[in-house]
Amino acid sequence: MTTKRKPAIFGLILATLVVAGGLAFEGCGGGGDPGANEVFMQAIAFNPMEITIQAGESVTWTNQDIVPHTATSGNPGDEDLGAAIFRSALLSQGGTFTHPFNDPGEFVYFCEVHPGMMRDAKVIVEGGN
């Protein structure tokens, strides 16, 4: 690829941080704890940071914050996010994203809106038999 894409949502980072500082750390009372095969985007973090599933299962991310998040495989700065193994849309509060994992392995991911704070999260997929 010769064109470096800078997703427009990176422009939201500063504004998001300002809003997040005041509001996001206290949720709206929903939530509780994430269930099996579930990750919450919560208080500008992934909860849990590391999740283990079996091959053939899916992970569902749910945004519990008022600020938008993504779940994007790879690391911040990866040049071609379009080649990411998974890449959610920009999830607003209550938004969910589900991705099936058919092959064993470890899949690191991050949030494109908060690459400094929400990164190095991991889905560990254990092989069946």
Q: How far apart are CA 71 and CA 62, in angstroms?
A: 10
Helices and strands of the chain, counted as H and E runs = 1, 8
Q: Is 51 in the site for Cu ion (CB under 5 A)?
A: no
Vertex 43 angle, CA 98 and 110, to 5°: 50
**Which one of residues 69, 87, 88, 101 is an interface residue with Cu ion (CB under 5 A)?**
69
Number of residues in contact with Cu ion under rule CB under 5 A: 5
Q: Which stretch binds Cu ion (CB under 5 A): 23-31, 46-54, 91-99, 118-126?
A: 118-126
3-state secondary structure of 74: coil
Q: At its nearest, how many Å lie between Cu ion and the CB of residue 75?
A: 15
Question: Which residue shows structure tokens 């709206």?
Answer: 28
Give the contact letters, 84-113, x = binds to Cu ion (CB under 5 A), - = no: ---------------------------x-x
Written as six digits, the tokens of 51 are 């999740």
Closest distance between Cu ion and the C-beta of residue 69, in Å? Answer: 3
Q: Return the structure tokens found at 14.
A: 């500063």
118 binds Cu ion (CB under 5 A): yes
The residues binding Cu ion (CB under 5 A) are 69, 111, 113-114, 118
